[in-house]
Amino acid sequence: MKLPAGIGKWGSGVLGAVSLLLGVNLVMQFRGTRAADSRPHPAVPHAAQARPDQPAPRAADDLARYNSVVNLETLKELDARPLSGLDRNPFDFVAPPAPLVKPGQAAAAPPVAPPPPPPVLLKPMGYNEMPGGGKAALTTLDDQVYVVHEGDVVAARYKIVKITPTTLTVEDATSHQTVDLPFPP
């Protein structure tokens, strides 16, 4: 869209004047503030104002003007209560006591569980149904892409048992475990 020649100059002049006014306003706002007192002061509620018959408010009473929900009297009462006796240091770790073993008895070793089978490193990537009714799957193993069919063996370790539209059933030749690997959505 093409603008008339005079409007572009007028628009630039108006934008320059507005930015100058905003800059002056910013300088005027911060001219009267001190560097140490940069937070805004909320209005002091009527109940928190100092009375001539009371001593000057302490630092703890100063919190009342920021949050009127804080009940300072209850807080002072809770702080004045004595602490319950702690029978141990919560930062020191203490191991549970060892089970007692009678003399002449050998300590029974806990049963050792067999190690878990190694994870299947074959990753299914996709599914394809061929025109003749055959099924094929795309898989990856060590940055290699394989197109596999039922009965194929990948890397002399993984045998493709079954291919369905949602999962790829694989048998690991080293651990003889069968795993269903889902295709990504």
Taking only the tens place, the pLDDT of each residue in 71-101 is 788 888 888 888 777 677 777 777 777 777 7
Task: Tell me what pLDDT residue 181 has.
Answer: 93
For 34-66, letters b (16+ CB in 10 Å) and e give: eeeeeeeeeeeeeeeeeeeeeeeeeeeeeebbe
Write the pLDDT tens digit of every residue in 34-56. 555 555 555 555 444 545 555 55
What's the whole-number average pLDDT of the chain? Answer: 80
Round to whole Å and give the CA distance between 49 and 133.
87
